[in-house]
Structure 1
Amino acid sequence: MKRFPIVILLAAISCGACSSLMETSPTTDVAKEEILADAEGLQVAMDGVYATMYNRLDFVAANAHQCFGNMAVTLAADLMGDDMVQTAQGAGWFWKDYNYDQRSRYTSKIWRCYFTWKYFYEIISNVNYIISASETATGDENEILCTTAQAYAARAFSYFMLIQSFQQTFVGHEDLPGVPIYTEPTSASSTGNKRASVRQVYALIDNDLEIAVAMFGKCGIKRKHISNFDLYSTSLLQARVALVENDWGKAVQAAEKAISTPDASLLTRSDATVTKGTFDDSTTEWTTGKTPFNSVQSSSVMWGAEIISDQSTVFASFFSNMDACTNVYYAAEAPKCISNWLYAQIPDSDIRKGWWNGNIGKSAKEWKYGANINYNQFKFQWADQKSYKGDYIFMRLEEAYLILAEALCRQGNDSEAKDALGEVMSRRDPNWHDTLGALSGSEQTFGTVGTVKTLMDEILLQRRIELWGETGRIFDILRLAKGWTRYWNVGGEESNHTNYLRKYPEYLNFPADYIECILMIPQAEIDNNPNINPEDQNPYVQN
């Protein structure tokens, strides 16, 4: 078990002096140079970067309970979409994401716009120091190469999350303003950069990933912990990016490389079985269930954060907001549920049907507290609530196969696409061949709700089911560009969403480039960066 320093922050930059939010907690230049002087110090610093990816980020003050690294960003992105329902306000966490009430708060330093921007730029600032210091660091050259590769991968990941959060998807928007690019260490006297174009940001991401992959291939060192990027998790990130860029050839190549990992295997049907925790409505007594999605020891995990008890963020955590069986945490008063339409697409023979409740006769209107509500999720439960144990899974091997299936289908290789999809589906549903039938074709025929007519429809549907709660649904909605909705009435059952977003009545079916899906640039960045002016802000009102 690896213990991480909670946060090691390197850049000596103060917001009052530096004209951007590229700032972290200050250290002295001497301390910084000592930390980064050799191979061991570089990895210690990189471990500090990884620690921020699951930690509570207190720079947002009281809102730290919905700002806990990567999983907070992903959960917010899922709740902005169509497949995840938040049934009530509860303590308020993530309610504004679900109700599209974050953009209006861009002038504040405690809400989503500021958190997402500052969080990823903080990572970028730190890895820029690591990359720069690697050129003069002493020690084992392969160790230095391996750590530097991790830094490049982390920078690519951060820019990828930023560009997806603060601008429309790549295809069709290549020349729109993206986010500022920084590739060198910054100081108190550094001037903030202007917004680079979407095309330029993706070019940097691609280049960083190419460098990281090459370095990992050259260093030949097996990673020391699942929290670290390695050749295979970096290749999966490369495949994610290629999907957004519609570069199907690269997506195939990168996904195949990720799949070649010797350290992960697909969850079997048995492994993917979820045992639901219980909740007594009258006494609020509960029991913890079992799930493979709370441990980095699960066979298919390719990248994640192992969280030991004394480094758990307790209430300010993913499982606190997801596991409604525990009566002292946020999910019990604001359960997260699957959309009833998506649930209805899962055959009874599919083991994933057990990841959620079905219609148990208790709608949001009838529910008061706890897990006993229609369509409540059990995929994400504490591993051990009493010790606040629950690991964060950032990447699974199943995603690589789903990317491979989609990219092959886009290229017209239906047979190979079915084979790739089958690797996952044969481990979920023994009757999956009956569902697949004679489907063919690369056309996506619907966004949120519809009838599967093509192989592409089936692949994307299975992606929504398998990766529910893991990759941020709104990002897929944007890249697929088919529009979306939260309202439907299929077979007499109306949507179970608690907010159809009817404050925008003209958009019960939202356009593919709906601006509300894009965060606003934090006002603090505009105030402190002379190269980003008010007119550079994202549009506030849909045209």
Structure 2
Amino acid sequence: MKLRNIIFLSALASLTLTGCGDDFFDVENAGVASKDEIDEIGNSSPEALVKVVEPLMLGLNNYTCQYNTQSSSGTVHNDFGLMSVYHLGDVMNDDLAFEQSGSGWFTYDYQLDYWSAQYVRPFFYWNFFYSVIAKANDIIAKISTDVTDANLKAYRGEALVYRGFAHAYLAQMYQQTYIGHEDAPGVPIVLTPDEAEEAFAGRAPLRQVYAQAEKDFKAGMELLAGWKRPNKTMIDEQVAAGLYARMCLVTNNWDDAITYARKARTGYSVYTPNELLADNAFNNISAKEWMWGMDITSETSTAFASFFSFMCSYDAGYGGDVGQYRKIDARLYDSMSASDVRKLLFKHESTGVEYTAQETKFPEYTNIKFKKVPNWEADYLYMRVSEMILTEAEALAHKGDLSGAATVLKELMAQRDPSWNLSQVSAEDVYQQRRLELWGEGFSLFDHLRLKKGIDRNYEGSNHLSSARYTIDAGSWYFLYQLPLRELDNSDAISADDQNPTPTESKFK
């Protein structure tokens, strides 16, 4: 990744960054202004700068649900932004089972065969998050650090949070987890020209990557403090706190995980059983548990190439009428007590539910959690309050406060399983509830990585495809990506010697 001098665009110009390597930084445009001139615009006429930055902020938010973020010349129905990242993580694990391999979209992820440098998936992931960083840097660079306008402060804060979020997610997929590998090579740290001394063109040590992400999260939260966002598609201080709390679980910063998860969920409440089972619980951004998401409209819908195309069992998509149903792992489902309301989020004969004619045709264990919305306009869920309760409880358990963890977890479990009444819970107990509560929402792989767990799809009664009934130990490079070949070809700072190992062990045991 070649760090050349970035030319600041004029106050009336917007920046579109779609490539990798040089394209992220070698920006050339005829109309340019100095940094001092841009700062002067912000100080003398903040309204004018708002008009420049606001579309960039909207563009960054919308990029999270954009189709074909990798600018492929072909069809890429498995590339629809952030929800692609979340879904590929779920299918790379053992909590989600395929009914059939189908058309190939996400199949190689399910088979853990998409890790190699020359494949599309490592490039997609790298390109997506570095594009987020580039777009965030464009906003950060346009807004002075001493800005006083409330909206400009918020836009800078939101962009900083996006940048921290992106660096943290990159670090998780191109190196083993943080604990025990703090000085292992991570990913490049990409900042604005004003911050050039803190940037790192090569593979920065994980310690440095996460330190920069923490710095961005905390600076972003400070700028966002007190700002009232216009809608849930934007990051506010509480969402920023939630995203930082996610990262704290990775770095084992239990104190901050507790503090910021608690801060994030203030004022929110969990679904009641009826609300959990309602048709709009997981497809409508206005639902009460939702903290952050994307409002999918006729303008932002990507139809067949979308999260709900794969996860909704009811519609004309891949996971519905095409027959590539997404199912919960049988052993995970069977671990729920009979009184757990979440059992009703999956089709199973044991529930005693009178299913519709369409649902009767679904295979056992098929998810009915993600319901359809007409015209492919189901909204995308990025964060909800139950995650924050689980984060706080897990961190308390890791600190040894098992009774405190149980008290927090009870807030969730009182609405999920009336028979649940533990006075103490371990971190493993909380993790089990994360698997059940957040199923299909994009957490399973990242949880497995940070908790150093392997996968086991090969057990008696397994409902995974027989061709993918893997047993893979924790720490396997099958779970991670090699650096994309295009980055190696275009970077002066990263060479083939910096590449991640090739996994060689058998996936079957």
TM superposition score normalised by structure 1: 0.81
Q: 1:209 aligns with which of 208, 217, 223?
A: 217
1: CA distance between counterparts of 2:308 and 2:285? 14
1:447 match: none
8 Å CA contact 2:183, 2:207 repeated in 1 = yes
Residue 127 of structure 2: SS of its match in structure 1? helix
2: CA distance between counterparts of 1:428 and 1:13? 44
1:400 match: 388
1: CA distance between counterparts of 2:382 and 2:255? 24
2:442 match: 471
Q: Deviations over 1:368-410 (max 9, x none)?
A: x9961111011112222xx211000100000000001111111
Amino acid at match of 1:394: Y
Amino acid at match of 1:483: G
Q: 2:124 aligns with which of 115, 118, 121?
A: 115
8 Å CA contact 1:192, 1:530 repeated in 2 = no
Q: 1:511 aligns with which of 470, 473, 498?
A: 473
Q: Deviations over 1:257-289 (max 9, x none)?
A: 1121x3x32111110015xxxxxxxxxxxxxxx
Q: Deviations over 1:429-451 (max 9, x none)?
A: 22222xx3x555xxxxxxxxxxx
Q: Deviations over 1:447-498 (max 9, x none)?
A: xxxxxxxx33321111100001113311111111133311222xxxx21111
Residue 277 of structure 2: SS of its match in structure 1? coil
2:62 match: 51
Q: Deviations over 1:170-224 (max 9, x none)?
A: 10111111111111159xxxx992111111110111110110111122xx22011
User: Relative to structure 1, is the Cα distance of residues 64 and 9 closer, same or farther in structure 2, using a 3 angstrom cutoff?
Assistant: farther
Amino acid at match of 2:272: T
Matched, 1:341 2:331: yes
2:154 match: 146
Residue 398 of structure 1: SS of its match in structure 2? helix
1:497 match: 464
User: Relative to structure 1, is the Cα distance of residues 513 and 328 closer, same or farther in structure 2, using a 3 angstrom cutoff?
Assistant: closer
Matched, 1:248 2:250: no
1: CA distance between counterparts of 2:204 and 2:342? 42
1:480 match: 451
1:429 match: 417
Amino acid at match of 1:337: K
1:321 match: 310
Please list, as runs of the form range in 1=range in 2, the aligned pairs for 1:140-219 lying within 5 A after superposition: 141-184=149-192, 193-217=201-225
1:252 Cα deviation after fit:
0.7
8 Å CA contact 1:293, 1:379 repeated in 2 = yes
Amino acid at match of 1:401: I
Residue 310 of structure 2: SS of its match in structure 1? helix
1:538 Cα deviation after fit:
0.9
2: CA distance between counterparts of 1:251 and 1:485? 29
Please list, as runs of the form range in 1=range in 2, the aligned pairs for 1:341-490 lying within 5 A after superposition: 341-358=331-348, 372-384=362-374, 387-433=375-421, 436=422, 439-440=424-425, 455-489=426-460
Amino acid at match of 1:221: W
User: Relative to structure 1, is the Cα distance of residues 359 and 165 closer, same or farther in structure 2, using a 3 angstrom cutoff?
Assistant: farther
2: CA distance between counterparts of 1:86 and 1:401? 29
2: CA distance between counterparts of 1:525 and 1:499? 35
1:511 Cα deviation after fit:
2.1
2: CA distance between counterparts of 1:12 and 1:314? 24
CA RMSD of the aligned region, Å?
2.9
1:225 match: 231
1:62 Cα deviation after fit:
2.6
Residue 157 of structure 2: SS of its match in structure 1? helix
8 Å CA contact 1:337, 1:375 repeated in 2 = yes
8 Å CA contact 2:160, 2:216 repeated in 1 = yes
8 Å CA contact 1:127, 1:154 repeated in 2 = yes
2: CA distance between counterparts of 1:28 and 1:65? 36
1:298 match: 287
Matched, 1:259 2:270: no
1: CA distance between counterparts of 2:76 and 2:124? 9
Amino acid at match of 1:43: E
Identity %: 33
Q: Deviations over 1:219-252 (max 9, x none)?
A: x220111011111011011111111111111111
2: CA distance between counterparts of 1:28 and 1:12? 15
8 Å CA contact 1:149, 1:212 repeated in 2 = yes
2:80 match: 68
1:499 Cα deviation after fit:
4.7
1:132 Cα deviation after fit:
1.1
8 Å CA contact 2:93, 2:445 repeated in 1 = yes
- Give the unaligned 5+ runs of structure 1: 1-7, 275-289, 361-368, 441-454, 503-507
Greater Cα shift, 375-384 or 244-253: 375-384
User: Relative to structure 1, is the Cα distance of residues 185 and 336 closer, same or farther in structure 2, using a 3 angstrom cutoff?
Assistant: farther
8 Å CA contact 2:313, 2:370 repeated in 1 = no
1: CA distance between counterparts of 2:62 and 2:28? 17
1: CA distance between counterparts of 2:398 and 2:155? 35
Residue 258 of structure 2: SS of its match in structure 1? helix
Greater Cα shift, 126-135 or 58-67: 58-67
1: CA distance between counterparts of 2:18 and 2:271? 46
2:353 match: none
Amino acid at match of 1:272: L
2: CA distance between counterparts of 1:372 and 1:336? 10
2: CA distance between counterparts of 1:72 and 1:172? 29
8 Å CA contact 1:291, 1:379 repeated in 2 = no
User: Relative to structure 1, is the Cα distance of residues 429 and 541 closer, same or farther in structure 2, using a 3 angstrom cutoff?
Assistant: closer
Aligned residues: 473
Q: Deviations over 1:13-48 (max 9, x none)?
A: 796xx8545269986645997999612321221110
User: Relative to structure 1, is the Cα distance of residues 10 and 166 closer, same or farther in structure 2, using a 3 angstrom cutoff?
Assistant: farther
Amino acid at match of 2:101: Q
8 Å CA contact 2:17, 2:135 repeated in 1 = no
8 Å CA contact 2:309, 2:316 repeated in 1 = no
8 Å CA contact 2:100, 2:324 repeated in 1 = yes
1: CA distance between counterparts of 2:284 and 2:291? 12
Residue 303 of structure 1: SS of its match in structure 2? strand
Residue 256 of structure 1: SS of its match in structure 2? helix
1:165 Cα deviation after fit:
1.6
Residue 407 of structure 2: SS of its match in structure 1? helix
8 Å CA contact 1:483, 1:509 repeated in 2 = yes
1: CA distance between counterparts of 2:52 and 2:62? 15
1:286 match: none
Residue 103 of structure 1: SS of its match in structure 2? coil
Residue 270 of structure 1: SS of its match in structure 2? helix
